[in-house]
Amino acid sequence: MSRIAYVNGTYRPHGEASVHIEDRGFQFADGVYEVWGVFDGRLADFDGHMTRLERSLTELAMALPMSRAALTLVLKETVRRNKVRDGLVYIQVTRGTARRDHVFPAPGTPPSVVVTARSVDRRAQLARAQKGVAVITRPDIRWGRCDIKTVGLLPNVLAKQAAREAGAAEAWLVDSDGLVTEGGSTNAWIVDEHGVLRTRDTGANILRGITRAAVMALAPEHQIRIEERAFSVDEARRAREAFFTAASAFVTPVISIDGQRVGDGKPGPVTRALAEAYLANASASAI
């Protein structure tokens, strides 16, 4: 089926959709993006992702490129035109096109807006998640504002490629204190040796994951004790369970870290309960 992309006001065949060579996203990674999971044609965790998009833009002194209502329509229309039932919808917003110069272009320069949607084989994805996946660890060499979801993802790209080459699904990034920050495109979690569910606090240099927030909200309903507290690679290796979260990965069990088995090498009960609860909740509340 032919894919359709929204670019600066028009829907175009994917292969013909383009932005200018002097787009600031291409020249400087001067832009942000956002991603929603799509369940049965509807967008999951809608408000959380939209609010984070607004925040990312504000932090870079950019405005939402159109009203929230208009943007919602564009996102849904892109999903509809691509006939996506289960999948993902992406938006990239950059500071627009201007003659190359580091400083911001003249006020009034229109931003570039790209929206794309793609289907995911949900059954294959869930089957993979049921078995659990491997992660490796890599040094976190990113900039100091990882709370902003910018298109500047080179360290993440390199870490994810290293994971791929090691036969792993994700790279967990480790700061100079030996503590895990997050994954290349996911938030990192463990159930520690005392049974406490732990993930890095948002005061650290991490993305405030929308799936992370949803899972945190679900934990008390399942009588799971949760702490936003950093963990070391060593603690992760000794953990009872581990997993990662993202709009593109839901709750994915981690069964090995740097080749060393986590727990009994199978997805654990806390992970499975949260994965099930997250999926039920996300699909029920999608709009």
- Interface ranges with ligand PLP (CB under 6 A): 35, 156, 182, 185-187, 207, 209-212, 245-247
Q: How far is the CB of 185 from ligand PLP (least distance, A)?
A: 4
Instruction: State how far the Cα of 59 lies from the Cα of 53, in Å rounded to an integer.
Output: 10
Q: Which of 76, 83, 131, 149 is catalytic?
A: 149
- The DSSP result for 195-211, as a single string, is S-EEE--TTSSS---HH
Q: At what angle do helices 68-81 and 46-59 cross, to 10 degrees?
A: 120
Instruction: Tell me how crowded residue 228 is: count the other CB atoms within 10 A of its CB.
Output: 14
Q: What SS3 class is residue 63?
A: coil
Q: How far is the CB of 206 from ligand PLP (least distance, A)?
A: 6
With DSSP H G I counted as helix, E B as strand and the rest as coil, what are the percentages for the chain, rounded to 5? 35, 30, 40
Q: How far is the CB of 246 from ligand PLP (least distance, A)?
A: 4
Instruction: Say which residues have a Cβ less than 8 Å from residue 258's Cβ, sequence separation at least 6.
Output: 135, 136, 137, 233, 237
For ligand PLP, give the closer residue by CB, 134 or 246.
Answer: 246
Written as one letter, the residue type at 231 is F
Instruction: State how far the Cα of 81 lies from the Cα of 148, in Å rounded to an integer.
Output: 29
Token pair of 278, please?
A: 């997250």
Instruction: State how far the Cα of 64 lies from the Cα of 200, in Å rounded to an integer.
Output: 29
For ligand PLP, give the closer residue by CB, 188 or 239.
Answer: 188
Q: How far is the CB of 212 from ligand PLP (least distance, A)?
A: 6
For ligand PLP, give the closer residue by CB, 11 or 90.
Answer: 90
Token pair of 91, please?
A: 């938006």
Instruction: State how far the Cα of 152 lies from the Cα of 130, in Å rounded to an integer.
Output: 31
Instruction: Give yes or no: 83 in active site.
Output: no
For ligand PLP, give the closer residue by CB, 96 or 209.
Answer: 209
CB 6 within 8 A of CB 112: no
For ligand PLP, give the closer residue by CB, 84 or 96.
Answer: 84
For ligand PLP, give the closer residue by CB, 42 or 212.
Answer: 212
Hey, which residues are catalytic here?
A: 149
